[in-house]
Amino acid sequence: MADERPIRDHVRAILAGLGQDPTREGLEKTPERVEKSLKFLTSGYQTDCKTLLNEALFTVEYDEMVTIKDIECFSMCEHHLLPFFGKAHVAYLPKGKVVGLSKIPRLVDTFARRLQVQERLTVEIAEAIEKWVQPRGVAVVIEAMHLCMIMRGVEKQHSVAVTSCMLGAFRDQTQTRNEFLSLIRKPHNGLG
């Protein structure tokens, strides 16, 4: 059964549990700020992927790879409630339909704005594109730094986790997968 008390009440209790006075000047409004922040950082639960993608599907005779790389990605580790951040690279091979280019970063945000582990985030993005766009293949690679590894635990400040999910032609065809991996390694050439 869900606790009906506002998040801010729990934050006050956490601050007190840390030996802090939640009524002191610097912390007085922290519970409300944290509640607002957490609601934003988990707002992806309220987004319907079908609506997001289906409202931007267009019939186009294009069957070459569509790649959007270096999509800034911010999420929250579900194990420690600490951020992880980096870049997502997404590609798909259209099969009669393309999706509006801005919808891919929005889809990344939808799944990133949930309590996550990077591995699941990667798969969820790929599977949503596969399900709603129905391309010949989908590829997703995410490179991220995790504050739960940087600030605590092993304290490795320069470690980057890389995860991938290859579906359809990207899984079955080495040449297609290698083309994608080559494209995401290339510099922007002054773009962006």
Catalytic residues: 77-80, 118, 146, 148
Distance, in Å, from the CA atom of 145 to the CA atom of 154, rounded to the nearest integer, reads 13
Distance, in Å, from the CA atom of 69 to the CA atom of 81, rounded to the nearest integer, reads 26
Q: Work out the number of other CB atoms within 10 angstroms of the CB of residue 156.
A: 11
C-alpha separations of 155 from 1, 79, 151, 161 in Å: 36, 16, 5, 14
Q: Are 11 and 35 in contact (CB under 8 A)?
A: yes
Q: Which amino acid is at 65?
A: M
Q: What's the token pair of residue 186?
A: 């290339």
Distance, in Å, from the CA atom of 146 to the CA atom of 156, rounded to the nearest integer, reads 10
The residues, ordered by sequence, that sit 6+ positions from 119 with a Cβ below 8 Å of its Cβ are 163
Q: How far does Cα 162 stand from its chain's mean position?
A: 13
